[in-house]
């Protein structure tokens, strides 16, 4: 595709609900990152994939957060039993290269609001 696509753009969830956030990276991009961005803050690293392999998930805040990229392209970030503190913008970024990453292309993000 022309850019990184994320869906949905906005998601409102009741506390305790499960949500799934989708990221379509640029075709052929090897590296894929998920970040959580609270209002007025920088993107906080969540997890990183190289193709289908999840190489780093040290930023996932709890075991309620789970990410996958089964075929090395589309990725899904799942949050189980959502809490109010999960409210944030979730950004996905992809890069053509692995190792030395090169330019990251960001999606527009999913704004999650947990009520």
Partner 1 sequence: QQPVQSPQAVILREGEDAVINCSSSKALYSVHWYRQKHGEAPVFLMILLKGGEQKGHDKISASFNEKKQQSSLYLTASQLSYSGTYFCGTEGDDMRFGAGTRLTVKP
Q: How far is 67 from 1, CA to CA, in rounded Å?
A: 21
| String marking each residue 50-69 x if it binds partner 1 according to CB under 8 A | -----xx-------------
Q: How far is 105 from 115, CA to CA, in rounded Å?
A: 30
35 is a site residue for partner 1 (CB under 8 A):
yes
102 is a site residue for partner 1 (CB under 8 A):
yes
Q: How far is 104 from 95, CA to CA, in rounded Å?
A: 5
Whether the CB-CB separation of 60 and 43 falls below 8 Å is answered with no
108 is a site residue for partner 1 (CB under 8 A):
yes
34 is a site residue for partner 1 (CB under 8 A):
no
CB-based contacts of 70, cutoff 8 Å, min separation 6: 52
Taking the complex as a whole, the smallest distance from the CB of residue 5 to partner 1 amounts, in Å, to: 11
Which residues contact partner 1 by CB under 8 A?
Answer: 33, 35, 41-45, 48, 55-56, 91, 93, 100-109
């Amino acid at each position: 595709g022309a850019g990184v696509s994320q869906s949905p753009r906005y998601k409102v969830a009741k506390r305790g609900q499960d949500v799934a956030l989708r990221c379509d990276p640029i075709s052929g991009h090897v590296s894929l990152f998920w970040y959580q961005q609270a209002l007025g803050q920088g993107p906080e690293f969540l997890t990183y994939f190289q193709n289908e392999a999840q190489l780093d998930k040290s930023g996932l805040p709890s075991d309620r957060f789970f990410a996958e990229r089964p075929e090395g392209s589309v990725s899904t970030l799942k949050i189980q039993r959502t809490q109010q503190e999960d409210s944030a913008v979730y950004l996905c970024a992809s890069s053509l290269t692995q190792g030395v990453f090169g330019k990251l292309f960001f999606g527009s993000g999913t704004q999650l609001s947990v009520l």
